[in-house]
Amino acid sequence: MTVLGPDAVSGRKEKTDHPLRTKRAGFTERDHLYMKEALEEAQKALAHGDVPVGAVIVRKGRIIGRGHNRREADQDVTAHAEILALREAGAYDGGWRLEGAVLYVTLEPCPMCAAAIVQAKMAQVIYGVDDPRLGAAGSLLNLLQFPGFHHDVAIRSGLEAEACSNLLKDFFIEKR
Ligand code: ZN
């Protein structure tokens, strides 16, 4: 089932529950840059009272999709940052297949988004903070690397974790 070894993903081996799931692997400057773009997207959600989650999709060094959570703004339960970024990326060069693409998202994807990411055949998800409540990249369950699926998505986490988490914390403190 596993196509890539852990070395192919992170450059070093770490003890994890799946060979394609690595924590705090050596992120590049570009990784940080893309996550900062995702954080900027997340900020936009605040303007309409949505939980600040943002995502960008990168392929061949280019951002081809962006999204931020618009569930409240659109009264649409599917309007998660990842889904909106996937839609934009699909329209970008005329294809829903996103082989080789990497999704940067501030919060661990939920089961709905994880399933969409698998169906788009994306190469990798890099996220900021874990979501113990709903995370489908290993926290609650791991749909990105589900044994029955025919496609595995590599996972890395902890990129810009503090910034991603502070944004969420501030939002929920203000809501109280
Ligand atoms: Zn989601």
Kindly state the average pLDDT of the residues 91-103: 92
**Considering the entire predicted model, what is its pTM?**
0.87
Q: Pinpoint the alpha helices (H) of the chain.
A: 6-10, 29-46, 71-74, 81-92, 111-119, 161-175
Q: Which DSSP category does 114 fall into?
A: H
Confidence of residue 158 (pLDDT cuts 50, 70, 90): very high
Q: What is residue 7's predicted lDDT score, i.e. its pLDDT?
A: 41
Active-site position among 37, 72, 82, 108: 82
- For ligand 1, the distance from its centroid to the CA atom of residue 47, given in whole angstroms, is 19
- For ligand 1, the distance from its centroid to the CA atom of residue 55, given in whole angstroms, is 11
Note the Cα 126 to chain centre separation in Å.
5
Q: Is 82 a catalytic residue?
A: yes
Q: What is residue 26's predicted lDDT score, i.e. its pLDDT?
A: 87
Q: Report CA torsion sign: 139, 80, 120, 59.
A: negative
- For ligand 1, the distance from its centroid to the CA atom of residue 79, given in whole angstroms, is 8
C-alpha 152/C-alpha 18 separation (Å) is 11
